[in-house]
Chains A and B, each alone.
Chain A
């Protein structure tokens, strides 16, 4: 290696700063300051359970958001209400998907009456 570089590195070995006697006090003051600003809800939860707790909280929030923000499908809209008054029981059965009635009642509703 270049001799001037070698001398330079040897000189550099002697250049060392040492901490003053109050260095640790200053560091601890900063640590306390940071810790005081950091005490949040997470500090009350053990570190090992934080991921599970976080996931559960996220799922709950997502569920609440869906419940609150997603519009609910109306069971019976304005147009349905108007048309319903004009439709026969057979049409109501066909278009609304109501509970299936008994066989003979169904045939009656659809106009296949046995007596006919």
Chain B
């Protein structure tokens, strides 16, 4: 913790060695968190770079005595949330205004297995519901930690978890 504090103070004064040390120390954590929401390595790497760029442009806002890894997790999750929303909007726009399929496929696509179904169901959830669910079930965070990371109240997190599970079960029941 003391090491983190010293590093942050040095990074705030613009020391590139301290900034590099922060990247080295926290990149695994940032990669792990982003991996929970994105499946391609390229996406994860791009977003991780964005997270560190955001971190260094806002490093003045960091209070060295605060929980730095918690603050960084919040920046990471917010970055993922923004990207998921953008992806969702693009997908909706493509489905609404994009070109229609040239012809109907002659062979029906293979039925996804149970993991594939679960993945598709999870992807169809709104990021507002998907993120707390993944943080709870995969990252094994407590409700309090999720609330802190997402900047929500604990009640709000519980409501979102309940809705996410309900919706997910509903989607899986239909398929």
Contacts and interface: CB of A to CB of B under 8 A. Distances in A.
A67 interface: no
A34 B23 contact: no
Which residue among A4, A31, A32 has the maximum number of chain B CB atoms within 10 Å of its CB?
Answer: A31
Contacts of B77: none
Given A4-B172, A8-B119, A15-B35, A24 B24 contact: yes
A15 B41 CA distance: 11
Nearest to B133: A9
Main secondary structure of the interface of B (DSSP, over half): helix
Interface of A is mostly: helix
Contacts of A30: 49, 53
Interface string A17-45: 11100011011101110100000000000
A49 interface: no
B68 interface: no
Interface string B34-45: 111001010011
Q: Which of B41, B115, B169 has most chain A Cβ within 10 Å?
A: B115
A79 B122 CA distance: 82
Contacts of B168: 2, 5
B81 interface: no
Interface of A: 1-2, 4-5, 7-9, 11-13, 15-19, 23-24, 26-28, 30-32, 34, 47
